Amino acid sequence: MNKRVLLGGAAVVVIAVVVAGAQIFPRGDQTPDGLVTQADDNPFAGLDKVFIEEGPDLGLTEEQRKAEEDYLDLRLDRSDTSAVLPIEGARNEPYRTCEKVPELKSTVYNDRVSDEGFATRSIYDFVKYKHALDKRDCTCAGKVAPFQGVNLIKAELTEKEGEDWNRFKWGEHYQTEGRKIRDQVEAMCGGEF
């Protein structure tokens, strides 16, 4: 049995070396017959100009061009951030680089099937965006919020609507509100959350 395993492993290694060698050191011209290699042989050569061609110069200033790009931004859920003043010289640390609170490892938070998990994640997103905006802090200290805010909101919802409050409905509500605040935080910090 061991000899078969060793021989099989050796055969796999030899085949891999041969294939790699053929890729690194090809022999001769390897283009298949009938392959279009010249532009005059290509019936679609005219289309190349369409995709390579630069757009027309509209004579826009840099400010007008930026306004045009902002107008054409296709993200539909973006909220108005005109009232948010950017922090001059702020050091923006993306949230993805921050050390997270331990509660984010809980089974409830990571449950991708139940409405409870959805509501918990949506509420925490809202809490962390609001925390950064309220603190006016673009570092990890401002972006990583204590998890107790989630527990307080859940307790308020339970008190107001009972134990069987609609987790999906309120999860969507906090997700929408959180996105609005996230846009404000990104405008304040001058970069991604």
Q: DSSP readout, 40-55? A: GG-TTHHHHHHHHPPP
pTM equals 0.58
Q: What is the pLDDT of residue 19?
A: 77
Q: Is residue 116 part of a domain?
A: yes
Q: Is residue 154 part of a domain?
A: yes
Q: Residue 177 and residue 171: Cα distance in Å, rounded?
A: 10
Q: Residue 104 and residue 123: Cα distance in Å, rounded?
A: 12
Q: Is residue 47 part of a domain?
A: no
Q: Which domain holds residue 104?
A: 100-193
Q: How far apart are the first and last CA of the chain?
A: 57
Number of domains composing the chain = 1
Q: Is residue 83 part of a domain?
A: no
Q: Is residue 169 part of a domain?
A: yes
Q: For 73-125, what is each residue's pLDDT tens digit?
A: 655 455 666 666 677 777 889 999 999 999 999 999 889 899 999 999 999 99
CA-closest candidate to residue 87, choices 142, 139, 140, 136 = 136
Q: Is residue 183 part of a domain?
A: yes
Q: Is residue 160 part of a domain?
A: yes
Q: For 118-172, what is each residue's pLDDT tens digit?
A: 999 999 999 999 999 999 999 999 999 999 999 999 999 999 999 999 999 999 9
| Max Cα-Cα span within the chain | 78
Joined together, the tokens standing for residue 2 give 């061991």
